[in-house]
Amino acid sequence: TKKITIAIDGFSSTGKSTLAKQLAKHLGYIYVDTGAMYRAVAFFAMQNNLISSDSFNKVELVNRLKDILLEFKFNSDLGFAEMYLNGDNVEKDIRTIEVSGFVSKVAEVSEVRAKLVEQQKEMGKNKAIVMDGRDIGTVVFPDAELKVFMTASASTRAQRRYDELLQKGDVVTYEEVLKNVEERDYIDTHREDSPLVMASDAVEIDNSYLNREEQFQAVLDLVNNII
């Protein structure tokens, strides 16, 4: 069978990463969560006092981009790769509501995007990859053989993210999570550089009413028609 590139884009918390991981595992492909990369840059900015609720020193963040090393290292116990920032495993640090509150502002910066997109293209140069994000089918891999665009209602998505955070023991309210999901959607769709938009050749999947298995089967059918 031929090796292809699969791009999965969509709004926050539509289940992109769950689907992407399932597909990658099934096909024996690499899975790359590009949101983790933007989150790691946001975490770096927080750690270095470059961003807070009332200020964002973009110039300094851009100056310091060269000091940011992002790596994915495979964790065989978990069965997927984890995000490392300058040698440290930041998988837990980047999934907090604080990082979620800053990440879309960091992701608006063109220099940040250019650096991450370059690294993402490099990771996909041999195909056999499933990558999820916001601009994968439009900017990172415009020639991907399969592009999926995932949607679901904001309330479905917020509930999902809320359950996830609770499970990890985070103290958050549903309203807080919903507000964050809506804010990120707004910034992600309105930014100048690489806004979140469905590629014209993408297949749209609204998973408000699909369970994991149904969604996986639907996309697997699409894959099997190509490979």
- Residue 135 binds ligand C5P (CB under 6 A): yes
Of the residues 5, 12, 156, 207, which one makes contact with ligand C5P according to CB under 6 A: 12
Q: How far is CA 144 from the centre of its chain?
A: 17
157 is a site residue for ligand C5P (CB under 6 A)? no
16 annotated among ligand-binding-site residues: yes
Q: Is 138 annotated as a binding residue?
A: no
State which of positions 175-194 bind ligand C5P (CB under 6 A).
Answer: 184, 188
Query: At closest approach, how far in Å is the CB of 88 from ligand C5P?
Result: 18
Tokens of residue 67, six digits: 């000091």
* Residues 6 or more apart in contact with residue 51 via CB below 8 angstroms: 42, 45, 57, 61, 102, 105, 106
Q: What minimum distance in Å lies between the beta carbon of 45 and ligand C5P?
A: 13
The answer to whether the annotation marks 216 as part of a ligand binding site is no
- Give the Cα separation of 175 and 182 in Å (integer): 11
Known binding residue 153? Answer is no
Q: What is the DSSP track for 162-202?
A: HHHHHHTT----HHHHHHHHHHHHHHHHH-SSS-----TTP
Q: Which residues bind ligand C5P (CB under 6 A)?
A: 12, 34-35, 38-39, 103-104, 107, 133-135, 184, 188
